[in-house]
Amino acid sequence: MIPEIALFLLILTGFFALLGVLFPLLATVKNSPQLRKYTWPLTYGAAVSVTLSISLLAYSFLVDDFSVLYIAQHSNSQLPAFFKIAAVWGGHEGSLLFWVFSLALWAFAIAVINRRRKGQFISHVLVVMNLLILAFVLLTLFTSNPFLRLLPMPFEGRDLNPMLQDVGLIFHPPLLYLGYVGFSGVFAFAAAALCQPQSTFPWAKQSRGWALLAWTFLTAGIALGAWWAYYELGWGGWWFWDPVENASLLPWLTGTALLHSLTASEKRHALIRWSLLLAVFTFCLSILGTFVVRSGVLTSVHAFAVDPTKGLLLLLLLALCLVVPLTLFANNYGRFKVGRLRSFYSREVLFLALNSLFAVTTLTVLLGTFYPMIFDAFNLGKISVGAPYFNALFVPLTLLAFLLMGCAAFINWGKSKLDKKRLTGALILSLLAALLIFYLLTEGTDTLVILVLLSTSWVIITPFFKLHFIKRLFKNSAMTIAHTGIAITAIGAALNAHNSSEISSKMGPGTQVVLGELSIEYIETQWVIGPNYSAEQALLFITDQHNKDYQLTPQRRHYPVRVMNMSEPAIKSLWNKDIYITLGEKIDATDYAVRIQKRAFTNWIWLGTVLMIIGGLFALLKRFPPLSRRNGENDEQ
């Protein structure tokens, strides 16, 4: 009975959304504020009913209702409870329901925050949100209903894919989706702005907060995904330039550009067209990301469901989200005028350059990701585009971006005179810092590492050379923290690629190997019984040059329900390196192939992403108190 109630609630969500589209539109036609007011409760209704629906699905997972096909396919009575919750979004059907859920949550949040601004503009924003909710409800209902029953009811479920049974994977998809879907809010603001007859209204100001929140979620989601891939997959890598990873990087790139562009639009009424287009493209790239994961058009290790029909509908939705706003944009192109530029040395020009750079980077990643597919479609043969290509093009573009980021300290809005003394000071200090890091932390020489160190030092050092640095410490904090974060991630990534080393060796009780300054001794093999797996575990002692001891226990797990063997690496994380040990295949009765890796500076990569997230949160923190104060004023439209 409960799955049927949940299904009914999902259908109800669709009806709320449908009415949430019709009422405000009717209100606009009839010019009736009374009718418009219904938009808000309808939006709340959609959010409440889909929340109840997904909660009931989670409840059915918890009580092991294997009569539901989706649950029988993704759960098992032996599965720990928190993985049962994670399994709600662990498969295709559930993840689409989660899309609807997060869409409704964002619509709810937009409605609540703007509850005192019951004008036409916000109601149109909610129309776009409700349209999207309706589209995704229909997609879920007709192609991927998670509440379908299975007869006869199986005694036991097929279990969640062991790869997904991990803390990182509980939080990675929801954060990523909240990020993806979060940009729907910005998209809705932009689409509503495009329909607005007058052009000067604070849509940039109103949508920037949503862009920041979505960006923070997306950054956290991508970082968590990279972290999960690092410690769960057992290869020691953290970014593979796989199509699915690229698909999440694309909206992040345009979203980052959007954040900057919106600042220019909000503060200086500049780059309005850029902001509008970036808002549209960012959400479209989010849908494209979902399409890539869900349709299986691109060969990827992460392609979870291969079903062309679902993909086709998503593609249709993507086309609509792209064509309608772009047509509106083309029709009203002349309306979005920007003010006169006063000087070449202005932040407006800097941000234009930055936007262009991000656009080129996005298009490059897009080109590399889809080139093999297009190539194949034209019968030109099969080729692969992978890490070497992306690194060769992405890294120089990133270095260029770092160069511009540092310049932000010396260039202000409107007009600025270059302060040569401060500029020289910053240049000299960042050169020294780069040399110091190079001398202390790097083994051997590598031009690329030197270039990365130089440009990142420039990013980290320049904020200190800003005019009135101390006075504006708080005002600039969010940007400084986020910029420092991406610089630290870049240093970590460069040194990780350059300083890492590894060794593969046949090991059994009593054997010993040496990797650089580390000495690794295999003590014994142990057996472990987990809740839904059994494992062989190696106990290893590691001694470093300071005679410090570490104990590591990599495992090989067997999950009987899915008949899958998984290697669970063991990691000792230090400030400048990770000792990363994978228990490979069994070679004879007592010995395994053991892969020991020294992954340099991995922690710096994570530290950098944490700083980026803190930067995003800081920017939000500065934003929301004045926003709530503004709510006191009545409608700005």
Partner 1 sequence: MMRFWLYLTLLFSSLVTAGEVNNTPLNSVFAPADSEQVKQVETFAFKNSSEQTRAINLARELRCPQCLNQNLMESNSPIAKDLRLIVYQMVDKGKTNTQIIDFMTSRFGDFVLYNPKFEARTYLLWLGPFLLLLVFAIVGIVVVKKAMLGKEH
Q: Which is nearer to partner 1, 208 or 556 (CB)?
A: 556
State the minimum distance, in angstroms, from the CB of residue 558 to partner 1. 5
Complex with partner 1: residue 59 or 375, whichever CB lies closer: 375
Nearer to partner 1, 25 or 571 (CB): 571
The DSSP element (H or E) to which 627 belongs, if any, is helix 602-630
Other beta carbons within 10 angstroms of residue 506's beta carbon come to 14
Place of tokens 């902001």: 275
Strand-pairing partners, residue 566, are 557
Neighbours of 97 (CB within 10 A): 28
Q: How far is the CB of 565 from partner 1 (least distance, A)?
A: 7
Nearest distance, CB of residue 412 and partner 1, angstroms: 17
Rounded least distance, CB 225 to partner 1, Å: 16
Rounded to the nearest whole angstrom, what is the least distance from the CB of residue 594 to partner 1 in the complex?
8
Q: Find the shortest distance in angstroms from Cβ 383 to partner 1.
A: 5
Least Å distance, CB 215 to partner 1, is 22
Minimum distance between the CB of residue 480 and partner 1, rounded to whole angstroms?
26
Closer by beta carbon to partner 1, 534 or else 637: 534
Q: Which is nearer to partner 1, 40 or 533 (CB)?
A: 533
Q: What is the residue type of 389?
A: Y
- Minimum distance from CB of 203 to partner 1 (Å)? 19
Nearest of 443, 564, 489, 500 to residue 235 by alpha carbon: 500
Report the DSSP beta bridge partners of residue 571: 580
Residue 33 or 308: which CB sits closer to partner 1? 308
Residue 163 CB, nearest approach to partner 1 (Å): 13
Shortest reach from residue 521's CB to partner 1, in Å: 17
Minimum Å gap between C-beta 411 and partner 1 is: 14
Residue 371, Cα to own-chain centre: how many angstroms? 23
Which residue do the tokens 């049974």 mark?
A: 165
Q: Are 328 and 195 in contact (CB under 8 A)?
A: yes
Inter-helix orientation angle 243-268/347-377, to 10°? 150
Instruction: Name which of 249 and 352 has its Cβ closer to partner 1.
Output: 352
Measured from the CB atom, the residue of 286 and 346 that comes closer to partner 1 is: 346
Residue 76 or 457: the one with the smaller Cβ distance to partner 1 is 76
What is d(CA 327, CA 325) in angstroms, rounded to the nearest whole number?
A: 5
156 DSSP 8-state letter: S
CB of 125 to partner 1, least distance (A): 27
Judge residue 200's burial from the number of C-beta atoms within 10 Å of its C-beta, 0-12 exposed, 13-18 middle, 19 or more buried: exposed
CB-facing half-sphere around the CA of 61: CA atoms within 13 A: 29
CA 348, 354, 358, 359 torsion: positive or negative? Answer: positive
The one-letter code for the residue type at 603 is N
The encoded tokens of residue 195 equal: 């329909």
Q: Are 61 and 71 in contact (CB under 8 A)?
A: yes
Distances (CA, A) of 72 to 50, 149, 163, 164, 525: 22, 10, 18, 16, 35
Q: What Å distances lie between residue 213 and 108, 462, 496, CA to CA?
A: 15, 26, 30
> At 223, which helix (H) or strand (E)?
helix 203-232
Is 248 in contact with 289 (CB distance < 8 Å)? yes
Pick between residue 11 and residue 374 the one whose CB is nearest to partner 1. 374
Residue 460 to residue 402: CA distance in whole angstroms: 10
Residue closer to partner 1, measured from CB, 316 or 387: 387
Residue whose C-alpha is closest to residue 146's, from 208, 204, 180, 99: 99
C-beta atoms surrounding 34 within 10 Å: 8
User: 285 burial class (0-12, 13-18, 19+ CB within 10 angstroms)?
Assistant: buried
Shorter beta-carbon distance to partner 1: residue 43 or 295: 295
Q: Which of 301, 316 has the CB closer to partner 1?
A: 301
- The count of C-alpha atoms lying within 13 angstroms of the C-alpha of 462, restricted to the half-sphere facing its C-beta, is 26
